[in-house]
Amino acid sequence: MLSFLILLLLLMSFFIGRRRGLILQLIHLVGFIVSLYVAYTYYQEVASYIQLWIPYPQFSQDSTVGMIINSFNGESVYYSGIAFAILFFGTKILLHIVGSMLDFVAHLPILRSINRLLGSIFCFVETYLILFILLYVAALLPVDLIQDQLQRSIVAQTMMNYTPFLSDWIRDLWIRNDLGA
C-alpha cells in the first residue's frame, strides 16, 4: 500500500511540474534547497532545545528501526531527526508561500514544451527528495503500523537504503549528532 502511494505521488508530481513549468518549478526547487540548508545548519541547536519539550518514546526491540536507533545514541538520533524535520518542513512551507506569490513568472514566454518537460522533471526530483525525508522521519516514529508499512514497502526500503549519496548522508547526519557533547 505504501509503495503504491509513493509511486502515485511521484506520478502526480510529474504532472504538477508539467503544469507549473520550468521557471516556477525552479523557484520551488530553490526553496527545497534553502530548506535543506537551513535544516542542515540549525538542526543540532533545535534538537538540544526540543529535548525539553518532546518526550523520547520507547521503541520496540523487535523492529528493525528500533534496533538501529538503539544501537547508536537513540535519543540523539531521534531528536536530530525531529529537529531536522521541523526546520526543513517549516522553512519549506514559508518558502512555498513566497514562491506562490511569484506565480506570474511562470507565464513568461519561453519554449512551451521544454518548459513543461523540465518542470516535470524538477518537480519529480523535488517530490522524491521530500518523500525520502518523510520516510526517514516516519522511521523514527515508534508506531507499529508505520513501522510495519515501512518494512513491507519495497519502494520505501529502496528509497531509504539505495538513494545515491542521500541514504548515507542522512544516516550519518543524524547519528553523528551527539547532543550530550
- pLDDT at residue 76 in the model: 80
- What pTM did the predictor assign? 0.73
Of all residues in the chain, the percent with pLDDT exceeding 90 is: 44
Task: Report which of residues 90 and 51 the model is more confident about.
Answer: 90
**Type of residue at 8:** L
Q: What is the pLDDT of residues 85-101, one digit of tens each?
A: 999 999 999 998 888 78
- Tell whether the model's pLDDT for residue 36 goes beyond 70: yes
Of all residues in the chain, the percent with pLDDT exceeding 70 is: 82
Q: Which of 23-32, 101-110, 126-135, 158-167 has the lowest mean pLDDT?
A: 101-110
Burial 71-101 (b: 16+ CB within 10 A, else e): eebbebbbbbbbbbbbbbbebbeebeeebee
Q: What is the pLDDT of residues 8-30, one digit of tens each?
A: 999 999 999 998 888 888 888 89
- Name, in order, each residue with C-beta under 8 angstroms of 179's C-beta and a sequence gap of 6 or more: 44, 47, 48, 51, 73, 75, 76, 79, 80
| CA atoms lying within 13 Å on the CB side of residue 124 | 13
- Tell whether the model's pLDDT for residue 181 goes beyond 50: no
- Provide the 3-class DSSP secondary structure of residue 168: helix
